[in-house]
């Protein structure tokens, strides 16, 4: 279950000035089991043929899946880091936005497995990612970083 006490506005505020912001990714919706973000199909995210770059799909998948994983652990004791991402690019998107929705396949004590479905504005599946996240004990160093930048 995701910590839905954290607002979408706050998640977007955390993205200011980082990789996610550079791709134009914005969080749009959260339920107790899913997190959705959108990414523009524009000069930041397309490849020379005018369609979404595979790396941009992976960036969207990793961004939304990583935040979802972090919101699903006890942040007083743990933090999460990405271990592996795999993306299948299924259909080109050439305009508007693509939307990535992360949902957990397995929430283990040390490893999470997330699926991220990326869809266009017509809800057609354009890419599908699986993301493995490690759950690590919160060290004092990470606690200080968390207190400075996060929740």
Catalytic residues, which ones? 62
Per residue in 16-25, is it b (16+ CB within 10 Å) or e — as a string?
eeeebeebbb
How far is the C-alpha of 118 from the C-alpha of 99, rounded, in Å?
Answer: 5
Q: Give all strands (DSSP E) within 90-124, no chain letters.
A: 97-107, 111-120
């Amino acid at each position: 279950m995701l910590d839905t006490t954290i607002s979408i506005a706050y998640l977007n505020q955390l993205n200011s000035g980082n990789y996610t912001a550079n791709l134009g990714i914005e969080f749009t919706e959260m339920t107790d089991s899913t997190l959705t973000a959108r990414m523009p199909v524009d000069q930041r995210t397309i490849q020379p043929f005018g369609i979404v770059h595979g790396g941009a799909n992976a960036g969207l998948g990793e961004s939304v899946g990583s935040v979802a994983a972090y919101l699903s652990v006890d942040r007083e004791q743990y933090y999460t880091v990405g271990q592996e991402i795999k993306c299948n690019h299924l259909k080109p998107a050439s305009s508007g936005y693509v939307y990535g929705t992360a949902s957990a396949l397995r929430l283990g004590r040390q490893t999470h497995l997330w699926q991220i479905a990326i869809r266009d504005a017509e809800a057609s599946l354009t890419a599908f990612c699986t993301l493995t996240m490690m759950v690590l004990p919160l060290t004092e160093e990470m606690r200080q970083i968390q207190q400075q930048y996060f929740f």
